[in-house]
Amino acid sequence: MDEIVSQPIRLRDLAALLGREYQGDPDLEIRSVASLEDAGPADLAFVRSEKLLDRARASEAGALIVPPGLDLGARATIESPDPGLDFARAAKKVCAAERPLPGVHPAASVDAAASVDPRASIGAGAVVEAGARIGAETVVEANAVIEADVQIGAACRLAAGSIVRHGCVLGDRVVVQAGAVIGSDGFGFVKNPEGAFEAAPQLGSVVLEDDVEIGANSTIDRGSLGPTRIRRGAKIDNLVHVAHNCEVGEDVVIAAQTGLSGSTFVGAGAMLMGQVGASGHLRIGAGAFVGPRSGLHRDVKDGARVWGSPQMDEKNWHRSAASLARLPGIFARVRALERKLGLRETRDGEEE
């Protein structure tokens, strides 16, 4: 893991970098970032909303990124319409990960027929097979495996123990976290006349476009014929499975433990929360929201918000959940009415 290196910055320079207005000592030096509770005089923290005003006032942070109109007196602040976003951008500047030096570690194995840009970094124990191409400023960490004929663009990061299998294509600035597998065989089997299953060849690949991030221990299966494709800017959490021939659209967010069966299409900007399961050959529309632990058995329209298993629209799901909580009381009233009408006998131990 790269060492996190502090890069101190003055308040006025950080505000200019973010394109925001500030108040307070322009020469205040910010050395790190922290939560409201843990921050000290050299730290930057942020306040998401007015609900956190008391915690902000109690914080010892040297400077705060705050929403417009939040009254913190004379404290050093940077005003932002989106404090969380600007805090993340500030953190990248103040606490940057030190990049390893370019070059190939002596303990790495790089085939002579591979092409590695001299500005790339290949870590100890990493394997780069024949025909692989690795772009400038890409980091392949310790024990990562890049199989034959893989193409990886510039400024990517392949974390320790990740695997990119043969023939897959990664664009620029792609991040593959530790233990993730890109291009494993899809789950394709056909039953023969004797009733046994035979594996169908998985001849496609995986394409991860620019700025895609794949979380730790996630698996993106190669297509059975054409590619499985994750489009630009999509962010996939840890422990997610994307099956063969799926297409995940631009800027899609998929949370942990979600599984997409084969040939599922996810439109641009959709959000799938944790533990969503989608049966195969479905279309999840652009901008759709799928609540946690939902089970999808039919298409989801563009912009729709669905929850539950089986899925239902968000309003109906909330009504159903509220009704479920009232069921014990309803059953008790029904039993009381049945006894009053002589349709039910009271049993020993049963409440009236």
Residues annotated catalytic, as ranges: 244
Instruction: Extract the tokens encoding 184.
Output: 């494993």
**34 three-state secondary structure:** coil
- Closest C-alpha among 144, 135, 206 to residue 180: 144
Instruction: Extract the tokens encoding 280.
Output: 């195969």
Distance CA 79, CA 290 (A): 33
Distance CA 323, CA 329 (A): 10
Give, in order, the Cα–Cα distances in Å from 259 to each of 100, 222, 279: 34, 15, 9
**How many other C-beta atoms lie within 10 A of the C-beta of residue 116?**
24
Distance CA 217, CA 109 (A): 23
Q: What is the CA radius of gyration of the chain?
A: 27
| 3-state helix, strand and coil shares in percent for the chain, rounded to the nearest 5 | 15, 30, 55
**48 three-state secondary structure:** coil
Strand partners, 283: 265
* Distant-in-sequence, close-in-space partners of 349: CB < 8 Å, separation ≥ 6: none
Determine phi and psi for 320, rounding to 5 degrees: -65, -40
Specify burial of residue 331 (Cβ count, 10 A radius: 0-12, 13-18, 19+): exposed
